[in-house]
Structures are given as structure tokens and as C-alpha cells.
Structure 1
Amino acid sequence: MKFAVIGGTGLIGSRVVRILNAAGHEAVPHAPSTGVDVLSGKGLEEAAAGADVLVNLTNSPTFDEAATAFFQTSMDNLLAAAQKGGVRHFVILSIVGVDHVPELVYFRAKVLQEHILATGPIPYSIVRATQFMEFIDAILSWTADGESVRLPATPIQPIAAEDVAAAVADVAQGPPLRGIRDVAGPEVFPLDELGRITLSHKGDNRTVVTDPTAGMFGAVKGDVITDTGADLAPTRYADWLS
């Protein structure tokens, strides 16, 4: 099969392209660096032409109100190009529990993205993943200073990017789900404890202070961990750190 992977040079996209090509498919990465712009529509028709499956792994560059406009415009452009190009399966990556946290603007924008896809003209699949292990350092940096890191005790179920990519590639190779598949890491941690584990591994002596209001995850009350219906990925956080 031929796959057009939009955002195919990024953290997840580059891995999806590698996995699909290793499986004997033709997976082509598309990104601004290859002349494709999801907001202006530049290069989208050419990218989608002849593809059996379109995998959209692009993301808003911000987490504020601008994210809503990004997902509205990008999805409208991608769906139009995919329909014209004869795409038979459209896949996106979203967030576990995204519809349970309306307090976060970015999560509301991702819900909009899912809705646009689900009500669109092309058979679809949505893969929802928990927080990437690769982003834990960034989460710590949001509320850090020279001596401490403030974090809420929000439950987090981190998953490795490689496992996310494997799940996306698996769904993309199958028939459209016309629904959602959840994938998550195998362990649940309070975010403040995950911060302590991460800093200790790095030899960082800063103190983690439990603050229920700190950072973006201060608005999350535990709904972004999975229930028993999720696929659990194999990579444990300690192994990933190592």
C-alpha cells in the first residue's frame, strides 16, 4: 500500500514512515521541508494523490486559542486533498481522555480535530495515546526554577514514542476503525513522583514540590489515564530512561 504521512519527519512521523517501509509498503513523508503546508494547502493535493492511506501527524505549534484555528484549517485542507486524491483511509493521532478535560483549550482543539474527521467523507481511524515519555523533560521545565520543580500529583501513564508509532502504523495498515483505539504505557505514576524519578536518574538535585495547580496538568484530574480497554505498550519508563 501507499501511505502519505503528513508530518512524516517529526518525532512520531519519522518512526511511522520507517515502520511502514520496513513492512514492505511505500510510505512517503511530507512536511514543510518537503514543500507541504497544511495551513495554506500547498503541496497537499500532490501528497495525497494515489495514496491508499493518509496519516496526519501534524500538530499545532501552540497550546492556546490558535490551536483551534490550526486544526480547523489543516483538517479542512487535508480532507479536501485526500478526497480528491482517492484516499480510502484517514488516520490521526490524538490524546487519551481528550474529551474529558474541557478546561484545556488545546484539548478542546483536539476534540474538534477528531469531530471534523469523524464527520468527514473518508473512512477514518483515531489513535489516542497517553503522554509521551519524550516530553517529560519539557513538562518539568514549565514550572522549574533553579532549586525546585512544581508538579501536581496528576496520574500519568507515559508511553514511548516508538510504541506510539508502532500503534499508529498498525492501525494505518488495517481497515478503518471508524472509531478510536487507545494506547498507553504499562505503568501509572503521579506526575510529581515521575518528576522525582526523572531528576534522580539525571543526577539533578532540584526538589520536586507537589503543587496541584502547577502547569497544564494542574487542570487534569486523572481522566487522561486509560481504562481496561486500552492497548498497553511494552516499554517501561525505567527502561526508556536507561
Structure 2
Amino acid sequence: MEIAVIGGTGLIGSQVVKKLNAAGHEAVPHSLSTGVDVITGQGLAEAVVGADVVVNLTNSPTFDDASRTFFRTSMENLLAACHKGGVGHVAILSIVGADQVSDLVYYQAKVLQESVLKAGPIPYSIVRATQFMEFIDAVMSWTTEGDTVRLPTTPLQPIAAQDIADIVAEVAAGPPLNGTLNIAGPDVFPLDELGRITLNAHPDGRTVVTDDTAGMFAAVHGNALTAKSDARIAPTHYSDWLS
């Protein structure tokens, strides 16, 4: 099976390409660095022509209002190229609970991307993942002041990038879901506790202070970003990933 992975040189994409090729498929990574621009459309037609499946793992460079334009334009451009190129299946990676966090523009933008895909002419699959374990350090850095990290008690259920890549590769190689698969890690933590666990394992002089007004996750209500009852639970625990 020929599979074009747009955003195939990034954290998830590079692993998806490796896993698909190891399984005997012909997966090719595409990104800005290979001459493919999902916003201008440059290189898109050439990237997807002849592909049975296209996996879109591109991401907006910002979390602000520009993210809406990015996800709408990139998805529309990609679908047009795929339709013209005869692609039979388009898969994307989104976020668990994105439709329940209306106060965050980036989450609105991901829902918009999903909507454009669903309304398009090509059979599709949406994989919604919880927060990446690899991003917890970045989340902590956003609210660090000196030696203090301010974090809310927002419940998160982090998942390892390796597990995400395994499932995205599996979905890409399978029949279109024409629906959404939710995936999550096995453990739920309040974000402030997650920060303390992280710094306990890798101390750097910072301490965590609970602050339910701190950072973007303060806008999340309840358990919006944790697994739903139908979610597929990945095997990697955060403590094992940390070690």
C-alpha cells in the first residue's frame, strides 16, 4: 500500500512512516523541508498522486486565531489534491475532547479541521488523542516564573507519542473508519500533580504551585480532555515513560 504522510518528519509523523514501512507498506514523508506546503499548495499534488492513503499530521505553528485559518486552508488544499489524485482514504490526528473546550481557539481550530474532512468527498479516519507525554515539559514551561511552576488541577490522561504512532499507522493501513477513534494513556492525573511527578523524577530546582487560573488548561472544564468510555487505552504509563 502506498501511503503519503504529510507532516511525516515530525514527532509523530516520522514514527508513523517508520512503522508503516516496517510493516511492508511504502510510506513516504512529506513536509515543508521536502518542498510540500499545505497552505500555498506547493508540492501537494505531487506528494499525494498515486497514494492509496494520505495521513495528515501537520500542525499549526501558533495556538491563536491564525490556527483556524491554518487548519481550514490546509485541510481544504489537501482534500482537493487527494480528490484529484484519486486517494481513497485520508486520516488525521486530532484531540480528545476538542469539541468540549470552546474557550480555546486552537481546539476550535481542530474541530474545524475535522468538520472540513467530514464534509469532503473522500472516506476518512479521525484519531483523537489525549495530551502527549512529550509535551508536559512544554506545558510546564508556559507557566514557569523563576523557580515556580503554576499549574491548574485540570485532569489529563497523557499518552506516549510511540503509542499514538502505533495506532495512527494501524488506522492508516486499515479501511476508513468514516468516524472517530479516541485514544488515551492508561492513567489520569490532575495537571499540577503531573508536574510534581515530572519534577520528582527529573528535579531541576523548580516547584509546582497549584493555580487554577494558570495557563491555557485553566480554560478546560471538568474531564473534557480525558478518555471517553469508547476510547482505546494505550499501554504506556507515564511513570514508565519518565524512566
Q: Does 1:173 align with 2:191?
A: no
Distance in 2, Cα, partners of 1:206 & 1:20: 40
**1:144-155 correspondence to structure 2 within 5 Å:** 144-155=144-155
Residue number in structure 2 paired with 1:44: 44
Tell me the SS of whatever aligns to 1:127.
strand
Q: Which residue of 1 aligns with 2:231?
A: 230
| Residue of structure 2 in register with 1:117 after alignment | 117
- What's the CA shift for 1:227? 1.9
Residue matched to 1:72:
72
CA contact (8 A) 2:182 2:228 kept: no
On the 8 A contact 2:98/2:107 being kept in 1, the answer is: yes
String of CA shifts for 1:88-138, please: whole Å, max 9, x gaps.
000000000100011000000000000000010000000000000000000
Summarize deviations over 1:188-219 as a string: whole Å, max 9, x none: 00000000000111122322111111101000
2:188 aligns with 188
| SS of corresponding position for 2:51 | coil
Give the number of aligned pairs.
242
- The amino acid of 2:102's aligned partner reads P
Shift of 1:180: 0.1
1:1-242 equivalent positions in 2, closer than 5 A: 1-221=1-221, 222-242=223-243
User: How far has the Cα of 1:163 moved from its partner?
Assistant: 0.3
SS of residue paired to 1:79: helix
**What per-residue deviation string (whole Å, max 9, x for no partner) do you get for residues 65-93 of structure 1?**
00000011101110010001110000000
Deviation at 1:26, TM superposition (A): 0.1
Amino acid aligned to 1:8: G
SS at match of 2:144: coil
**Letter of the aligned partner of 2:121 in structure 1?**
P
Letter in 2 for 1:225: T
Q: Secondary structure at the match of 1:12?
A: helix
Q: Distance in 2 between matches of 1:60 and 1:81?
A: 19
Q: Partner amino acid for 1:122?
A: I
- Unmatched 5+ residue regions in structure 1? none
CA distance in 1, matches of 2:26, 2:239: 34
> Which stretches of structure 1, 4 residues or more, deviate above 4 A after TM superposition?
none
Amino acid aligned to 2:100: H
TM-score by length of 2: 0.98
TM-score (norm 1): 0.99
Inter-partner Cα distance in structure 1 for 2:235 and 2:242: 14
C-alpha distance in structure 1 between counterparts of 2:101 and 2:145, whole Å: 27
Counterpart CA distance in 1 for 2:63 and 2:83 is: 29
Give aligned-pair identity as a percent: 69
- Consecutive unaligned residues of structure 2, counting only runs of 5 or more, are none
**Partners of 1:189 and 1:105 in 2: CA distance:** 24
Q: Deviations over 1:6-64 (max 9, x none)?
A: 00000000000000000000000000111100011000000010000000000000000
Letter of the 1:99 partner, please give it.
D
